[in-house]
Structure 1
Amino acid sequence: METLYRTFIIFVAGYLFLRITGKKAVSQMNTIDLLYIFVLTNIISTPVETSHVWKSLVYAGIVVILYKIFLRLSLHNQLRWLLYERPIVLIRNGDIDRKGLKKAKMPLNELLSNLRVKGYTDTQNIAFAAMEETGNISVIPKSQYRPVQPNDLNLKVKKEYLPIPLIMDGQIIYHNLKYLQLNQGWLMNEVDKKGEKVENIMLATFLENGKLFIDNKEIKNHKNDPHYYNPGKGN
């Protein structure tokens, strides 16, 4: 009973410490954030340290069970708002929410950086932006600035096809061959047709038209073609 009690207290204390710290420290970890998590983990785990292997396994098992219970409780809407923070609004209808930035502990330049990563340079073009409970920034642009969708032009598009890898880093992916009901003989024949060797192939994928696309490990010399510019002195 004491083991369960001590482990529960440590688990709850660790949870509260991370909640107090905020989402940013957990989701956008830099060197300081990683150091913080490492030190905090060692501090809260000190009470359960023991030289007995089996007791250590019991403690670890209890922590896993408690974690699973928290995940199960989070599936209920009424408890979810108690266990997780609500999304923090950062931009609404083109206007930056200063209170939201302060609550999220996010400097303005960091917000702008996150927007640029997602392809947005002007806050006036954004209808809604928020820091989600995971710490990620979600952005919804105003309707006139969002990418054009096929449905906007009344276009019918075919179903998206995902190329299936058959060779990766010079190794054949046998379970994908089996899934496609193909054999190694067919694959080797296709590779030979292209004058390649399996060990020299970085990636080979099965395309929608039934053909094999091959990307070997060789990089062609493009003779100073501007389209293949490589930044730095090594260009």
Structure 2
Amino acid sequence: MELWETMLRSISAFTLMMLIARILGKSTIAQMTYHDFVAAITLGAITANLAYNNTISIKILLTSLLAFTGISYLLMFFSMKNRKLRDWLSGKPTVLIQEGKILESNMRKLKITLDTLNQELRSKNIFNIQDVHYAVLEMNGAISVLPKWESKPVTRKDLHLDDRSEHIFPIELIMDGSIIEANLKDNDITTEWLHSQIKKKGLSIENINYAVISSNGSIYFDEYKDRIKHPVDKE
């Protein structure tokens, strides 16, 4: 009976956390601030106890879980209305590099080393710190970078290239060998048209793992059989 009770409690805990994540929204998951970090740890601890701690009443755990969820939601709601509260809960962006100069005092305050800063810059494809005009540590821990004017990548606008061809959002047609009927319906694409495109490529639908209409309008097909003589296999 204890095993079945633990199983039921675990399923209930997982379901509740999924519902709470839905309530709090995608932004909380994608951009974790101080408030989100504390809420996630607290809710995770309560949910873990709900899953396996048989010594605490389920009613008490559910009450605690609902209370913390309510607190998190209300704080998120009021912080959207009040900037001072939002700054206190989520923090403020901090400048790390200003006009090409590293602000050591801000680095020390945030306990960020030069190694960490260089690592974050490399993740932005900047390997020379002297190419940075501004670097800002955002509230979610990510670093935003403004390169110096001479180090900025060249754009089509800089080259005076006027390409106004329409770009669309990619439309996935087949995934894991199955046709995504909802995407076909939403974009007025018929299965007959899809089969005709597969036939043009000399393929059969049974051999296709993934198919997508890319942003430039071309269709990409990925077969189960890769036809690569020496595939790279790295753990």
TM-score w.r.t. length of structure 1: 0.69
Of 96, 119, 137, which aligns to 1:131? 137
1:122 equivalent in alignment to 2:128 = yes
Of 92, 99, 123, which aligns to 2:98? 92
Gaps of 5+ in 1: 1-22, 28-36
Partner of 2:73: 68
Q: Please give the secondary structure, in 2, of the residue aligned with 1:152.
A: coil
Distance 2:84 2:56 in 1: 41
Q: Would the aligned equivalents of 2:43 and 2:65 in 1 still touch at CA under 8 Å? A: no
1:83 equivalent in alignment to 2:86 = no
Q: For residue 71 of structure 1, report the CA deviation from its aligned partner.
A: 0.9
Partner of 1:169: 176
CA deviation vs aligned residue, 1:133-189 (integer Å, no higher than 9, x gap) = 100111110112111223333433324322211001111110111012122232223
Distance 1:199 1:53 in 2: 49
Gaps of 5+ in 2: 1-32
Q: Would the aligned equivalents of 1:204 and 1:215 in 2 still touch at CA under 8 Å? A: yes
Partner of 2:157: 151
Distance 1:125 1:109 in 2: 16
Aligned pairs, how many?
A: 195
Q: For residue 121 of structure 1, report the CA deviation from its aligned partner.
A: 1.2
Distance 1:41 1:181 in 2: 43
- Cα pair distance change 1:231/1:166, threshold 3 Å: closer
- Cα pair distance change 1:208/1:115, threshold 3 Å: closer
1:101 equivalent in alignment to 2:112 = no
- The more displaced of 210-219 and 80-89 is 210-219
Q: Would the aligned equivalents of 1:95 and 1:123 in 2 still touch at CA under 8 Å? A: no
Distance 1:56 1:38 in 2: 15
Distance 1:124 1:208 in 2: 35
Q: For residue 72 of structure 1, report the CA deviation from its aligned partner.
A: 1.3
Q: For residue 38 of structure 1, report the CA deviation from its aligned partner.
A: 6.6
Same amino acid, percent of matched pairs: 31
1:193 equivalent in alignment to 2:188 = no
Q: For residue 42 of structure 1, report the CA deviation from its aligned partner.
A: 4.1
